[in-house]
A and B are shown apart, each in its own frame.
Chain A
């Protein structure tokens, strides 16, 4: 149970990081398209 809670929290942190990377890639692509 303790390990499961720990893993869920770590997965949550990774999902947030992945969202940041996704937005960064989209921002770079939209800037390329705008040029």
Chain B
């Protein structure tokens, strides 16, 4: 179970939950710890309520297959296509973050840094598949779960002048700043995004489905959720300590990198950069693998019969193709957390109602699944574009759009599900 837990934790602790959270700790103190707790709660709820049901399905290896088993072929393909797109989107965020770390260490041009990270990471899943992923994730988990908290202890004991009082003063000032610059509506949206946006994305779902027993599946998710609370506390605290060490105008994505450079001796700095590269690659390789598996199992195999050998080749080609899309897409990612929030906003409405309701009700209707996935995806993208146009041209303001989109888009997906269920139920008379 320890290895499944480590693999889950290494997958979700990407640059967003390390570089991104340290940056948010720097700017808004413990505000983001509260928001991060929604993510921890989500993992625990998935472990208690959803993962065992998902693992209980027979012969499913991907989320698309699970949805296909409940709703039929059309929904299987649609869920697969959404999974591939989402994995490419998340991978683009990871590629941007990895590029920033490599650019910072080696001084390579930003575009070349992204290409180096993506190309090297794509080798793991291309050559080794899910098994190589899980073992690599465990090594990477060990690396960063030892080094980053040790760095926090070092900063607290040596570099932070003033001890506990100074830490509390910085935490309080940052949290007040964060609360004053974030509206209540945005906070509610952020909590919803972190509660739902990463729920059972393909790499997590693959791990839930691949567990030996339902107990291992349930306990791994619960442990991963509990662990995330402590992890977020470490990252946010690193960001808070950075306030008295690095300049106040430091960009949020480079707070942790600049802190490492400021406080660590050369040798320690090199080791910590290895840990940060591990953080990025452990998430990126899982996303590339999950995207490739979804493409092969859910999309291609639904139309063409493939031998195992040919399926492996298609999977490897898909890994490389998704890696290429991620490298190109990295240019368009606004910031690490900003990029993650955009992916959350599309994932939650497009897949969650169909998946979770399908696992709980007795006779899920194919039309309900199709409508919910279609309407959820279109609504998320449309609301996002409308709000972007409003805040760009009508009422110019620097507002984080995704948290405002997720709840209405989710509501639209739920209504579409209810409508599809009702129509098909009355058509069939059952």
Helix, strand, loop or mixed for chain B's interface? helix
Does B156 reach chain A (CB closer than 8 Å)? Answer: yes
The answer to whether the Cβ of B145 comes within 8 Å of any Cβ in the partner chain is yes
Considering only CB atoms, which chain B residue lies closest to A25 in the complex?
Answer: B2
Q: Chain B residues near A12 (CB, 8 Å)?
A: 149, 229-230, 233-234, 237
Q: Which residues of B contact A25 (CB under 8 A)?
A: 2
B164 at the binding interface (Cβ < 8 Å):
yes
Q: Contact check: which of B135, B167, B171, B234 meets A13 at CB < 8 Å? A: B234
Determine whether the beta carbon of B237 is less than 8 Å from that of A9. yes
Which residues in A have their C-beta under 8 angstroms from that of B164?
2-3, 5-6
Give 1 or 0 for each of A14-35: 1 = CB within 8 Å of chain B CB: 1111011111111100100000
Contacting pair A9 B156 (CB below 8 A)? yes
Cβ–Cβ < 8 Å partners of B163 in chain A: 6
- The answer to whether B3 and A17 have CB atoms under 8 Å apart is no
**Chain B residue nearest in CB terms to A16:** B149
Q: 8 Å CB contacts to A: which residues of B9-37?
A: 9
Task: Assess the B6–A23 pair: CB atoms within 8 A.
Answer: yes
Contact A23 B2 (CB under 8 A): yes
Give chain B interface residues in 217-235, CB to chain A under 8 Å: 227, 229-231, 233-234
Bound: A29/B352 CA distance, A:
37
In the complex, chain B residues whose CB is within 8 Å of the CB of A5: 164, 167-168, 171
- Which one of A6, A10, A20, A26 lies within 8 Å of B146 (CB-CB)? A20
Given contacts A5-B167, A23-B3, A23-B138, contact A13 B145 (CB under 8 A): no
Interface size, chain A (Cβ < 8 Å): 24
Q: How far is the CA of A33 from the CA of B184 in the complex (A)?
A: 53
Within the complex, what minimum Cβ distance (angstroms) separates A4 from chain B?
9
On whether A13 and B2 interact (CB within 8 A), knowing A2-B164, A6-B168, A20-B142, the answer reads: no
A32 nearest CB across to chain B (Å): 14
For the complex formed, measure the closest distance between the CB of B25 and the CB atoms of chain A, giving whole angstroms. 11
**Interface secondary structure of A, over-half rule:** helix
Give the residue name and chain of the A residue nearest to B2 (CB): A26
**B167 and A9 contact, CB distance less than 8 A:** yes
CA distance A34 to B2 in the complex (A): 16
State the CA gap A9–B46 with chains docked (Å): 27
Instruction: Decide: A23 near B141, CB < 8 A? Known: A6-B156, A14-B149, A17-B150.
Output: yes
In whole Å, how far is A22's beta carbon from the nearest beta carbon of chain B? 6
Residue among A14, A16, A17 facing the most chain B CB atoms (10 A cut-off): A16
| A1 partner residues in chain B, CB cutoff 8 A | 168
Contact: B149 with A2, CB < 8 Å?
Answer: no
Distance between A16 CB and nearest chain B CB, rounded to angstroms: 4
* Least CB distance, B286 to chain A, in whole angstroms: 16
| A21-B146, A23-B2, A27-B142 given; 17 more Cβ-contact pairs under 8 Å | A1-B168, A2-B167, A5-B167, A9-B156, A12-B229, A12-B237, A13-B152, A13-B237, A16-B148, A17-B149, A19-B9, A19-B230, A23-B145, A26-B2, A26-B6, A27-B3, A27-B6
Q: Which 10 A-B pairs have the closest CB atoms?
A: A20-B145, A26-B2, A6-B164, A13-B149, A2-B168, A12-B233, A23-B6, A20-B146, A12-B230, A16-B149
Can you list 30 A-B pairs with a CB-CB distance of less than 8 A? Answer: A1-B168, A2-B167, A2-B168, A5-B164, A5-B168, A6-B156, A6-B163, A6-B168, A9-B156, A9-B234, A12-B149, A12-B229, A12-B230, A13-B153, A13-B234, A15-B230, A16-B145, A16-B148, A16-B227, A16-B231, A16-B234, A19-B145, A20-B141, A22-B2, A23-B2, A23-B6, A23-B138, A25-B2, A27-B2, A27-B6
